[in-house]
Amino acid sequence: MIFIPLPFVVALLLLILFATVLRRDEEVAPNLPFLALILVSALQSALSGLRWGYGVQGVGLVAPVIAAVVPPLAYAGVSRLVRTSRRSLAARVGLHAVPAILILLLVTFWRDAIDVALVLVFVGYAVAILLLMRPGADALRLAPFEGAVPAYRAIIFTAAALCLSAAVDTFVFLDFISAHGERALALISVGNLAALVILGIAAAAASRSRVPPEITEVAPRSDTSEDKETIAMVDALMEAKKLYRDANLNLDRLARKAGIPARQISAAINRTMDKNVSQYVNDYRIGEACRLLSATEKSVTEVMFEVGFQTKSNFNREFRRVTDMTPVAWRQRRG
């Protein structure tokens, strides 16, 4: 029987995931860092299979450098949903190439330090991602509101999974010291499965990302009257233009329509209404959905699309958050 190591299975699944995400992104600008992340991780998984499944030790010189590319790509993918960087492309690529260059130097001159360096790279980028996400779901200014909250949760889990990968590397390193690598294969297998989870949620977060033109922002003031004025302006725009019906509406697009800095809108809603902008917009969507369910014979799916939702899971979750019941139950009760 031909032995097929688990890392090869993971690599195949990653390639299938890549094809799925690429096909889903045909009509929108793809999140290139996340797509590259999937391919790089598939390569890393295949190299792991060659080394641990078939004993090809030479790949051990290449695998650490490939591994060092994964966290920067994850960070770059998240950054595209958070903001449009004003740094030049060359500066960004140069900065995020530092971990791979460092590991390459260590492979050449100081191999004993590779494992420690990789752990620091993975943990460092996990912390950087968490810092980007400090404002919560509102940090995803370039992600459509319809999927902002699930994307936020996925990215937080991505950061945790990077830490898990660092922990696996640490355990493998300690296993080689204490038991000469007896449990290394099992630990590597767990690491590859963790990588699959990372990429799945990262791809889900990136699948509908947009990168609109930059807008100039000013720091918002902590002024209650200004907060109320800001919300009143956004409320008027929502009611007059029904912007919530736009399934691709995001914080930057809302800010441009209102002529108000994105951070000012986010801060005003957070402070005054104790909710994020995604929930604020979805409240309008659910309010409209309730009206349509009560006053028309349109199907639940038709109503879902008309008010700006694209998936039943998000629609049902938000409907239950606002009304404490399902759309079908609402219609039956109001009927």
**Is the domain defined by 224-333 classed in CATH 3.10.20.440?**
no
What pLDDT score was predicted for residue 210?
46
What pLDDT score was predicted for residue 287?
92
What is residue 134's DSSP assignment?
T
Q: Which two tokens stand for residue 156?
A: 């937080």
Most confident of 4-13, 48-57, 229-238: 229-238
What pLDDT score was predicted for residue 200?
63
Task: Give the global pTM.
Answer: 0.74
**pLDDT of 304 higher than 90:** yes
CB 74 within 8 A of CB 125: yes
**pLDDT-derived band at 333, boundaries 50, 70, 90:** confident
How far is Cα 12 from Cα 46, in angstroms, rounded to an integer? 9
What pLDDT score was predicted for residue 159?
86
How far is Cα 83 from Cα 284, in angstroms, rounded to an integer? 25
What pLDDT score was predicted for residue 191?
64
How far is Cα 207 from Cα 143, in angstroms, rounded to an integer? 9
Listing DSSP states for 58-107 in one string gives GGGGTHHHHHHHHHHHHHHHHHHHH----S-HHHHHHHHTHHHHHHHHHH
**pLDDT-derived band at 123, boundaries 50, 70, 90:** very high
Most confident of 71-80, 145-154, 178-187: 71-80
CB 31 within 8 A of CB 142: no
For the chain, the first-to-last Cα distance in angstroms comes to: 63
CB 152 within 8 A of CB 314: no
Q: Give the largest Cα separation in the chain, rounded.
A: 75
Q: How far is CA 135 from the centre of its chain?
A: 14
Average the pLDDT over 200-215 and give the result. 51
What pLDDT score was predicted for residue 288?
93
Shortest CA distance to 195 belongs to which of 70, 72, 81?
Answer: 70
Shortest CA distance to 36 belongs to which of 69, 61, 11, 60?
Answer: 69
Average the pLDDT over 149-173 and give the result. 80
Q: How far is CA 122 from the centre of its chain?
A: 16
Q: Which two tokens stand for residue 332?
A: 């039956």
**pLDDT-derived band at 125, boundaries 50, 70, 90:** very high
Average the pLDDT over 209-237 and give the result. 64
What pLDDT score was predicted for residue 15?
82
**pLDDT-derived band at 164, boundaries 50, 70, 90:** confident
Average the pLDDT over 24-41 and give the result. 74
Instruction: Determine how many CB atoms are found less than 10 A away from the CB of residue 221.
Output: 10
What pLDDT score was predicted for residue 197?
64
Residue with tokens 């459509």: 144
What pLDDT score was predicted for residue 111?
82
**pLDDT of 21 higher than 60:** yes
What pLDDT score was predicted for residue 334?
62
CB 323 within 8 A of CB 290: yes
What pLDDT score was predicted for residue 2?
44
Of the two residues 49 and 335, the one the predictor is more confident about is 49
What pLDDT score was predicted for residue 151?
78
Q: Which of 172-176, 193-197, 239-243, 245-249 has the weakest average pLDDT?
A: 193-197
With 0-12 CB in 10 A as exposed, 13-18 as middle and 19+ as buried, what is 9?
A: middle
